[in-house]
Structure 1
Amino acid sequence: MLSLATQTILIIAILTISVAVVCYLGFRILRASRDLGTDADRATYETLHRVSQAAPHFTAGLQAEGASRAARHLRDVLGCEGLAITSTTAVLALDGPLADSGGPGSAELEHHAAQAVRAARTQVVRGGGVDGVYAPILVRGNAVGTVVALAPRANAGLVRATSEVAAWVAAQLGLAELDESRALLMEAEVRALRAQISPHFIYNSLNAIASFINTDPQRARTLVVEFADFTRYSFRRHGDFTTLAEELQAIDRYLLLEKARFGDRIRVSLSIAPEVLSTVIPFLSLQPLVENAVRHGLEGKAGGGLIGITASDAGAFAEITVEDDGLGIDPKALRAVLAGTADGVHVGLRNVDVRLRQLYGDGQGLVVDTAPGAGTLITLRIPKFQPGYDAGPPA
């Protein structure tokens, strides 16, 4: 049997250990509470998390598949028992017990949604034990659909929250339209560059080829093949991107055809770092710069001149330059060209500059150093790593 002293020591030890455990657990709980923040902080985080999960489903616009995937997340944000997303004419998505059964049917939802669309303001429909909050989705002032929250009783908080969610959906759809417009604009700019190539260059190239048919048939045949390969590349239908290697190959064919016209008046210097040849670049982003050097830099210069093309590794970028020692450009006229206020001259420069800025940001447009009689140096920097940009199959 333990002595009284021993029992006392054991009791004190047990109490000490118990206090330590309680303090440790209290410390951990307090720390966890601090990490998670207040209840308001946690609610804010949960809301942001839910809307971030819903956002990608609107990148293709207001479509049934995307709306169905987003509906669950938006219902969680509103905390309602049913949620529907409609277009102007049909129900696109239903989620929650009141949406699946016990709530209004599709025909009733479509009827009340159409009224909210026409009114372009949030409406509350009560009755049958289920209230519906119909908030229009307004994109640039036009209602394109509705977000519908269903609840046994719709209070003022739910009405306001549903309107805010509809405004958020409208913002996502507006971004999707901007992305689509941007893609269409880029496609139009590529078509403009192709149109720029076709009339002037094709006419002169065919004339040059014709001039060799009798005097040098072999060279004429070679030029026909180069002409066919260049035009096939320039007018290909797939992809907005290519590799630096492919674009340089097309430029080589272009210059061979121009040399058939100008002979030794055009000289070319190349300095290309092998490690940047696989860099993905916008389709027809270099060839128009070289064509600009020929047409506006050297064609009108007595004795012609030199075109230098370089491509080097600059860390996260491939730095590419196109330089000529031709006539140069007046800086004031150049500013007008890049601003889009000068018609018909140096169109290629403007289109390439706009496309680069759209793709990589305003700081990544063309850098042009020029002056009358001093030639022109054009520099562009292309990110070497561009997730989501695919050069597509070889031309």
Structure 2
Amino acid sequence: MRWRRSRRSRLGGEADRATFRTLHTAGLAAPALREGLTTASATRAARHLRALLGVPALALTDDRAVLAWDGSDDHHREHAARLAQQAVASGRTTVAGPGDLDCRRTGCAVRHAIVAPIVVDDRIVGTLQAYADHSSGALVRATDEVTRWMAGQLELAELSGSRTRLAEAELRALRAQISPHFVYNSLTTIASFVRTDPDRARDLLLDFADFTRYSFRRHGDYTTLADELKSVERYLLLEQARFGDRLQVTLRIAPEVLPVVVPYLCIQPLVENAVKHGLARSDGVGRISIVAHDAGQSCVLEVEDNGAGEDPDRVRRALAGDTDQDSVGLGNVDQRLRTTFGDDHGLVVETAPGAGTKVTVRVPKFAPGVSAG
């Protein structure tokens, strides 16, 4: 019994409980800060930051204006912008005393303000201001530590925003990258059927219209695998009309994976590469296989061709974003998959000269924050 009581004391002492409370409170503030420093995020984070510091009032500002105030004695809010500008100008933590705050209200709990600049990537983006009835070295150090932790969260927000903007820019580039030759050749093929087979020409024209409408749509970063594969099917119908028996396609899609959400335009570039490489042997038949199957918590999709294959080093450079590589969209798709689902979900490419190419995509069936628009 003595051993059990002693063990409980070590695990459940006041120091442990204080640590748990601090970590829990910091965890409550983190999601808002990872959205960046805005009025909305500052308002949500301020009360948790005030709890971390244990002060009567707290303000968050950008480099000029007050974004949020939490706590009592909000008549001091009028001083926050001026104090922020002074701290930004000096670039260091400052302590404002009763003379700086000029407060004559009886019973006011605020007599001092500790103002710490928030530095992100060597830029001062705002300040954290802790208001209290007294100033101490411990409170100054605590304010500095919380400010440094905040800066880390805001850096993560900027990184996330940069990756999102990069993915959006790459998606726009991918839309623009739809081959003009494909458009020209598709329309030429459709025109060739107008007299000999007008019904087929009409159907192909509708497929072309649907394909281009999907490729250039302006809403949503994500789509279902079903919609993505419908667009791929239209693309392949147009290519088969052009190449005839030289292009043979096999599709094996498990119905249960059709609702899985994937980044928009993440399958088509893989199929376009497969067609291009599958037909690289001028005297041969290009065989393209597209397989999607259930793998427990994940969906696995494989695009394979029997074409000329590729130098693995060249593929690695394409996945790394080398714009000199002509593998259509591989680096784009790989980056967007990693941004959406994590670095474990990039493309896996198996290839060698003369051995064809197989590209495997593994995506989770469900991912937080990922839904078809």
Instruction: Specify if TM > 0.5.
Output: yes
Contact 2:59 2:70 in 1 (8 A): yes
Q: 1:261 to 1:299 in 2, by over 3 A?
A: farther
Cα pair 1:210 1:220 within 8 Å, conserved: yes
Q: 1:160 aligns with which of 141, 165, 170?
A: 141
Shift of 1:159: 0.7
The alignment partner of 1:377 has SS state of strand
Q: Which amino acid aligns with 1:121?
A: R
Q: Write out aligned runs for 1:33-112 (5 A).
A: 34=9, 37-97=12-72, 99-101=73-75, 104-106=76-78, 108-112=79-83
1:61 offset after TM fit, Å?
A: 1.6
CA distance in 2, matches of 1:72, 1:36: 28
Q: CA RMSD in A?
A: 2.2
SS at match of 2:177: helix
How far apart are residue 342 of structure 1 and its match?
A: 5.3
Q: Which residue of 2 aligns with 1:9?
A: none
Report the count of equivalent residues: 363
Please give the alpha-carbon distance, in whole angstroms, between the structure 1 residues aligned to 2:232 and 2:46.
51
Distance change >3 Å, CA 82–CA 224, structure 1 → 2: same
Unaligned runs of 5+ in 2: 104-110
| Aligned pair partner of 1:123 in 87, 94, 108 | 94
In structure 1, the partner of 2:214 is 233
1:365 maps to which of 346, 354, 372: 346
Q: How far off its partner does 1:198 sit?
A: 4.5
Deviation at 1:213, TM superposition (A): 2.1
In structure 1, what is the equivalent of residue 84 of structure 2? 113
Task: Report the CA distance shift for 1:232/1:105 in structure 2 as closer, same or farther (over 3 A).
Answer: closer
TM-score normalised per structure 2? 0.91
Which stretch shifts more, 271-280 or 360-369? 360-369
Write the distance in 2 (CA, Å) between the matches of 1:325 and 1:319.
20
Moved more, 341-350 or 113-122: 341-350
Alignment of 1:376 with 2:357, yes or no, is yes
User: Which stretch shows the higher mean deviation, 112-121 or 58-67?
Assistant: 58-67
Q: Contact conserved, 2:272 with 2:328, CA < 8 A, in 1?
A: no
SS of the aligned residue for 2:40 comes to: helix
Deviation of residue 139 (structure 1)? 0.8
The alignment partner of 1:213 has SS state of helix
Conserved in 1, the CA contact under 8 Å of 2:87 and 2:116? yes
Greater Rg by CA: 1
Q: Summarize the alignment of residues 1-395 of structure 1 with structure 2, pairs less than 5 Å apart.
A: 34=9, 37-97=12-72, 99-101=73-75, 104-106=76-78, 108-128=79-99, 130-341=111-322, 343-392=324-373
Conserved? CA contact 1:305–1:326, under 8 Å: yes
Listed one character per residue, the Cα deviations across residues 264-316 of structure 1 (whole Å, up to 9, x for unaligned) are 11011111111111111121111111110112331453233211111111121
Does structure 1 retain, via aligned residues, the 8 Å contact 2:280–2:308? no
| Alpha-carbon shift at residue 105 of structure 1 (Å) | 4.4
- Give the drift of 1:86: 1.1
Task: Work out the CA distance in 2 between the residues paired with 1:54 and 1:331.
Answer: 45
Q: Which residue of 1 aligns with 2:107?
A: none
Show CA shifts across 1:23-55 (max 9, x none): 9xx999x58963862222121111111111112
Relative to structure 1, the CA distance from residue 132 to residue 318 in structure 2 (aligned partners, 3 Å threshold; closer, same or farther) is same
Indicate conservation of the 8 Å contact 1:301/1:327, yes or no: no
Three-state SS of the structure 1 residue aligned to 2:85 is: helix
Local SS of the residue matching 2:196: coil
Larger mean Cα displacement after TM superposition, 302-311 or 60-69: 60-69
Shift of 1:155: 0.6
SS of residue in 1 equivalent to 2:176: helix
Distance 1:292 1:322 in 2: 9
Residue 69 of structure 1: how far off its partner (Å): 2.4
The 1:342–1:109 alpha-carbon spacing in structure 2 relative to 1, beyond 3 Å, is closer
Segments of structure 1 that go 5 or more residues without pairing to the other structure are 1-22
* Contact 2:247 2:285 (8 Å CA) reproduced: yes
Question: Which whole-Å deviations, capped at 9, do the CAs of 1:212-261 have from their partners, x for residues lacking one?
Answer: 22332222111110000011111111112111111111111001111121
Amino acid at match of 2:41: G
TM-score by length of 1: 0.86
Give SS of 1:214's match: helix
Other structure's SS at 2:307 match: coil
Aligned partner of residue 351 in structure 1, secondary structure: helix
Counterpart-to-counterpart distance in 1, 2:144 and 2:231:
54
